[in-house]
Structure 1
Amino acid sequence: MSMTSLAWQNLTNPLLATATDPGNSPMILTGVLLSLVVIYVASKLGGELSKALDLPPVLGELVAGVIVGVSALHLLMFPEVGAEASDSVIMTVLQAIGNLSPESVSSIFETQSEVISVLAELGVIILLFEIGLESDLRELQKVGYQAAVVAVVGVVAPFAAGTIGLMFFFNVPAIPAIFAGAALTATSIGITSKVLSELGYLKSREGQIIVGAAVIDDVLGIIVLAVVASLAKTGEVDIVNLIYLMTSASVFLLGSIFLGKFFNKSFVAIAERLQTRGNLVIPAFTFAFLMAFLANAIHLEAILGAFAAGLVLDETDKRKELDKQVIPIADILVPIFFVSVGAKADLGVLNPAIPTNRQGLVIAAFLLVVAIIGKVITGWSVTGKTPINRLAIGVGMIPRGEVGLVFAGIGSASGVLSKPLEAAIIIMVILTTFLAPPFLRLALKNTTEEEDVLESFEEADIAK
């Protein structure tokens, strides 16, 4: 399901055996290096321009990814979006300088793309580890009930509205409608948490509810995906697998946080005994990758394991020092993830001149409305007397990002989705991903203004 597992499947495919030919290895490395140059230049230009326009830098990275990807310049291309080696500008350059055969170029393209995909997967794992470190477990526990309610509403509302609406208004058969409805349930915790971090709201009450709900939402999304994947394959739900997923997800998250309280002292003791470079950051990443591996091994998302590892280490005495050491590593790998997400977004599905896109655009408009309203209403499911920005919570749950693309990809591979419906899901994913960051900033601006007013009243009282 994850990019890492897909990469392993492709690398073990006999058809790609030539990609591991020692004669191709230098050119694979050359392709990866050129791709990284494109990614870093695009991410910095996009991020800086976005910052200059007073927008979250992550939005600029996503847009830059779109420009260098399948929708525009064809510099960063991936086979999973239907691209071939001949479509890639980088592969054309490699063929010219290396005098390669078409077969070798195709083989190099596959492997080079997988390397970038794995680096992107590492990027989002490190991002979630960093977010876990920046989150306060005590504060998350305080909003645990509220986050759970937000997550459940954010899954049930768009799923029910999307599925029923597609069947009623567009006469879509039950299983494809259920699959499309399921694609509406996920929230991209990577994109939302990055925006919150950049705006300085990650540790606010709204930020903690959003992050907590997005984590629970991710777990629920995995369970929903398992259900609809079973429907697509067999026409019936595998109850045993469903119970296994629910149990393993709950035990893993709660167990890792509980055991972390005993692990903290051991971690600090190990770090203090080590005398060479990386005495703190290497044990930390070892723990994060181990947790990510364990999550993947029990069929959960690796990012959940990394997030849990960050929460655990957030409780140690070394947290502030560790934060400083993790940031430069995240700065290197996280942009690969965001630019890759943008690069895989094919805006060609928005072209109404193509007949199959027209029906897809109409369905997409419906899905987009459901996708936005279905998440925005979650803010009003938060209870309590403490004043809170409900709109910000709802908007923070909107972006589908890479999670939505996974749903679309699995639906496409299973043959369940028609071309118009698949295009509609992709359009919904693209627009929710790009609309959420600026909307979240606007929503949080109200919180800032309210805080400023409260502070002015408090200062006036003190002056009296």
Structure 2
Amino acid sequence: MNAPGALIFSAFPLLAVELDANHAPLVLAGVLLSLVVIYFASKVGGELSGMLDFPPVLGELIAGVAIGASALHLLVFPENGAIAADSVIMTVLQWIEPLTPAAAASIFQSEGEVISVLAEIGVIILLFEIGLESDVKELQKVGYQATIVACVGVAVPFAAGTAGLMYLFNVPAIPAIFAGAALTATSIGITSKVLSEIGQLKSKEGQIIVGAAVIDDILGIIVLAVVASLAKTGEIDILNVVYLIVSATAFLVGSILLGNVFNKSFIAVSNLLKTRGNLIIPAFIFAFFMAFIGNAIHLEAILGAFAAGLVLEETDERKELDEQVKPIADMLVPIFFISVGAKVDLGVLNPFLPENRVGLTIATFLILVAIVGKVVTGWAVFGQPGINRWAIGIGMIPRGEVGLVFAAIGAASGALDKSLQAAIIIMVILTTFLAPPFLRIAFGSAQASPEQAPDVVP
């Protein structure tokens, strides 16, 4: 009888490159040990970040950097140039059972691919969850002001970042476009949390910021779908770009328009089911099918997952569904965040090495564009005398989880080299660090009152 590890990995021949059946259990052991490291690091990082009044996702990212290629080498990946000898986990497996170099390399490759697949599923669930939390009706209330702020917040950093990288640093077009696109998104979760804590979530500025952040996410996902597809082809074809923009927009808009029709069918199906998972399983079937469609039409799987979240956000069971998604997200999304941090090698930005100084300069440039490109959005608001423009601009600064999605997909597609990926990660970390304290300063020291505090903190 085959061992469980052999059964699991015999079903995935691509994950077991030249892997002897006797060594398959070691792949499973490596994956399990990697998950122990990932979950331990995510909780330690998240708790420490929360104690310092920063978003947990920031702590998870930094914890990933600490255990990855930049420091402890507890979690390293072959696609980033690491070998089995670089991995502490592989060293532990060698203690369990001595391995030939070929077997060690094969196990290391398979283990890394399994973790990467779990991280991909994690980011799909993350975008599905973000879609569920994006209230389309609330967007209609803040209307054109939030739309203008969002469009400026996408166009300015994207144009400035892309043009600056190409003309100041001679970065090729595709990597420059990808890095510019990574500057576009705004983290609605981080901004909403701070606004709620200081009692400004329901203020005019707070509503514009949250509405613009949601629209930013939608525009950012469309931009990501376009640039990721460009990275796959390796060339800029105007007709292809137009097709991608039109198809991504039509995909999202069509999903939202069909939402009302689908919602009734979804609720009817879930009510017919009487066993466990009657709500969550149909929801994930829909989310994964939409992710498959997005991938099949040469966009991105995450675009489909985001669209599925937007559709199901309109259902009567949305709150219950959101509660059921959270524990699953808690299990898989940290794998994504930790993996993103672990794959970053901050050594490529070491200022003491002359060859790294250009990369460090690029990182500084991206940070400046990331901040200025969002702060100017406050001055895109018009017809609102006395509006706090600084607060609106600062509220749009944090990139958070969406910026990490850009960095991860850019690295996986080969569009971003190590220095550019590290520069984007540093930009995400700093903008996420800076936004909460400066947003509090911009609004003053007012605390949340019972009238202002929302019932649910995003």
TM-score (norm 1): 0.82
Contact 2:68 2:343 in 1 (8 A): yes
The root-mean-square deviation of aligned C-alpha atoms, in Å, is 3.1
Question: Cα distance 1:448–1:335, how it changes in 2: closer, same or farther (>3 A)?
Answer: farther
Structure 1 runs, 4 residues or longer, greater than 6 Å off: 11-14, 453-457
2:252 alignment partner, SS class: helix
Partner of residue 380, structure 1: 379
Q: How far did residue 382 of structure 1 move? A: 3.9
CA distance in 1, matches of 2:178, 2:427: 15
Q: How far did residue 39 of structure 1 move? A: 0.6
Contact 2:166 2:173 in 1 (8 A): yes
CA distance in 1, matches of 2:422, 2:327: 33
Partner of residue 396, structure 2: 394
CA distance in 1, matches of 2:132, 2:353: 47
Matching of residue 25 in structure 1 with residue 28 in structure 2: no
2:435 alignment partner, SS class: helix
Aligned length: 429
Q: How far did residue 228 of structure 1 move? A: 6.7
Q: How does 1:281-296 map to 2 (within 5 A)?
A: 281-296=280-295
- Deviation digits for residues 385-414 of structure 1, max 9, x if unmatched? 38463123431358732413543564568x
Contact 1:151 1:217 in 2 (8 A): no
CA distance in 1, matches of 2:376, 2:410: 23
CA distance in 2, matches of 1:423, 1:322: 38
Partner of residue 219, structure 2: 216
Q: How far did residue 153 of structure 1 move? A: 3.0
Partner of residue 117, structure 2: 118
Contact 1:18 1:107 in 2 (8 A): yes
Partner of residue 436, structure 1: 431
Q: Which amino acid aligns with 2:181?
A: T
Question: Cα distance 1:250–1:402, how it changes in 2: closer, same or farther (>3 A)?
Answer: closer
Question: Cα distance 1:291–1:67, how it changes in 2: closer, same or farther (>3 A)?
Answer: same
Q: Which amino acid aligns with 1:442?
A: P
Q: How far did residue 110 of structure 1 move? A: 1.3
Question: Cα distance 1:199–1:367, how it changes in 2: closer, same or farther (>3 A)?
Answer: closer
Partner of residue 301, structure 1: 300
- Which structure shows the higher helix fraction? 1
Q: Which is further off, 385-394 or 302-311? A: 385-394
Partner of residue 182, structure 2: 186
Q: Which runs of 5+ in 1 are unaligned?
A: 1-10, 414-421, 458-464
- Deviation digits for residues 174-208 of structure 1, max 9, x if unmatched? x616632541222586x824434655759952223
Partner of residue 71, structure 1: 70
CA distance in 2, matches of 1:362, 1:102: 39
Q: How far did residue 152 of structure 1 move? A: 3.9
CA distance in 1, matches of 2:231, 2:116: 25
Q: How does 1:268-279 map to 2 (within 5 A)?
A: 268-279=267-278
Partner of residue 195, structure 1: 190
CA distance in 2, matches of 1:29, 1:228: 33
CA distance in 2, matches of 1:56, 1:362: 27
2:299 alignment partner, SS class: coil
Q: How far did residue 119 of structure 1 move? A: 1.1
Q: How far did residue 247 of structure 1 move? A: 1.7
CA distance in 2, matches of 1:158, 1:400: 13
CA distance in 2, matches of 1:168, 1:160: 12
- Deviation digits for residues 196-248 of structure 1, max 9, x if unmatched? 46557599522232122122122124324545765x54xxx323322221121
Q: Which amino acid aligns with 1:280?
A: L
TM-score (norm 2): 0.83
2:172 alignment partner, SS class: helix
Contact 2:161 2:179 in 1 (8 A): no
Q: How far did residue 355 of structure 1 move? A: 2.6
1:18 alignment partner, SS class: coil
